[in-house]
Amino acid sequence: MKKLLKKMVLFVLAFAMCMGMGASLTACGGDSGEIKIGVGLYQDSGPAVTATKNYLNGLADALNCKFEFVTLSQTNDEQNKTTAQSLISGGCKGLILTMDGGFTASVLEECRKAGVYLAGYLSDYETSYNNIKNNEYFLGTVVDGSYTGYAWGTHVAERIIAEGHKNIGMIKFPSYAFPHQSEMDQAFREKIAEYNATAADGDKITMTATTELQFQPLAESYLEENPNLDAIFAMCAGVDFVYPTLVKKNKTNIKLYTAGFSTDNDVLNNFGTSGNGCIQELVFSNVEAITYPLVMMINKITGHEFSDNPSEAQRVDSSQIIITNNEQLNLVKTKSLYCTGNVNDAFLSVDDVKALLAENGGTHAKLVEAVQSMDIDDLAALNN
């Protein structure tokens, strides 16, 4: 009986293999040249995810691409490698990953084995960039805003000075996770120091020592230890980690200038001059920035190259939407792809993206310019 069962097992396995091989041949024969690209995001839901998926799916037919979306783990390298391997096995010719880490080198090795390309999206690839920028299978990355944090730090300091706030709380995430927030901190302090050098004694601005949040909400004791704050500069995602504590402690009179964005009505209704007026500045990166790795990848896979193609993979800055008043917020709420999820609201149309491809005369310089021309003024101009 056992022998019979074993024979049956062997027969079915052999049958399955034949079916598989047959299907493989059929699949190869029926391939219409569609480029399958795996997109690994660090979130599985939310407006940014929806907008990214809608944008790419909106481009898919025109670019003859198909996109496979997966969610990456922020703490499990092995799981990320397994996910990347599955995408490659599933026929992806390129991977666009929003995360970098100890796993990147091993994923790139998998890419080499399978002849697949890797590119980054809204990530500076800080851990790996210097080691992989000359790897032929790494095509570069588009950064979440600017690679350095100096510009935004200076900008917020200028606003704080203009608004006349005197006691400022400084909050950021740990440096190991967000090293460039130290640059924002430094730029902010330098600008304030410059102002204090000429200000009258009663007009000078004081700043707390910078508190590092370990990805936990701001402790209520922080507000008791700093009772006279006028404003907080939260270089981290203050909407999620600082604002709830201000609400809980009934301290929404403190003005919050923060990175990050939310489509939550509790946030949007208390921005600028609306509601409690606590939140004064919000920042987010455009999902259309994914155009950079996408175009680089399609060029490589289709065998085309920019006339000004860089000799090593680039780490390209992208422009961000910085919202400083209610008018801008309304514009973003109704006209930005991030908020509406409508591909027709994207900065770049299907034709714009096609024109950026090397085969259609696009250049690397034009591509970089495209992902760096998406700020709030550009959004306003687009909708006028």
Residues that bind another protein in the complex, under the rule CB under 8 A: 1, 4-5, 9, 12-13, 15-17, 19-27, 44, 68-71, 73-83, 85-91, 101-103, 105-106, 109, 113-114, 174-177
Which CB sits closer to another protein, 109 or 351?
A: 109
The nearest distance, CB 197 to another protein, in angstroms, is 34
The nearest distance, CB 196 to another protein, in angstroms, is 32
The nearest distance, CB 114 to another protein, in angstroms, is 5
According to DSSP, the residues that pair with 294 across neighbouring strands are: none
For residues 335, 339, 341, 346, the Cα torsion angle rounded to the nearest 10 degrees is: 40
d(CA 371, CA 364): 11
For residues 126, 282, 172, 183, the Cα torsion angle rounded to the nearest 10 degrees is: 50
According to DSSP, the residues that pair with 71 across neighbouring strands are: 41
The nearest distance, CB 2 to another protein, in angstroms, is 8
Which CB sits closer to another protein, 176 or 250?
A: 176
> Which strands form 65-71's sheet, in the order they lie side by side?
65-71, 35-41, 94-97, 117-121, 138-142, 315-316
Which CB sits closer to another protein, 102 or 164?
A: 102
| 3-class DSSP string for 308-340 | CCCCCCCEECCCEEEECCHHHHHHHHHHCHHHH
d(CA 256, CA 182): 18
Which CB sits closer to another protein, 44 or 136?
A: 44
Instruction: For residue 340, give Cα distances in angstroms to 1, 46, 68, 148.
Output: 64, 12, 22, 29
The nearest distance, CB 63 to another protein, in angstroms, is 19
Which CB sits closer to another protein, 107 or 297?
A: 107
The helix/strand/coil state of 123 is coil
Which CB sits closer to another protein, 48 or 88?
A: 88
Dihedral sign of CA atoms 339, 343, 345, 351 in order: positive
The nearest distance, CB 281 to another protein, in angstroms, is 27
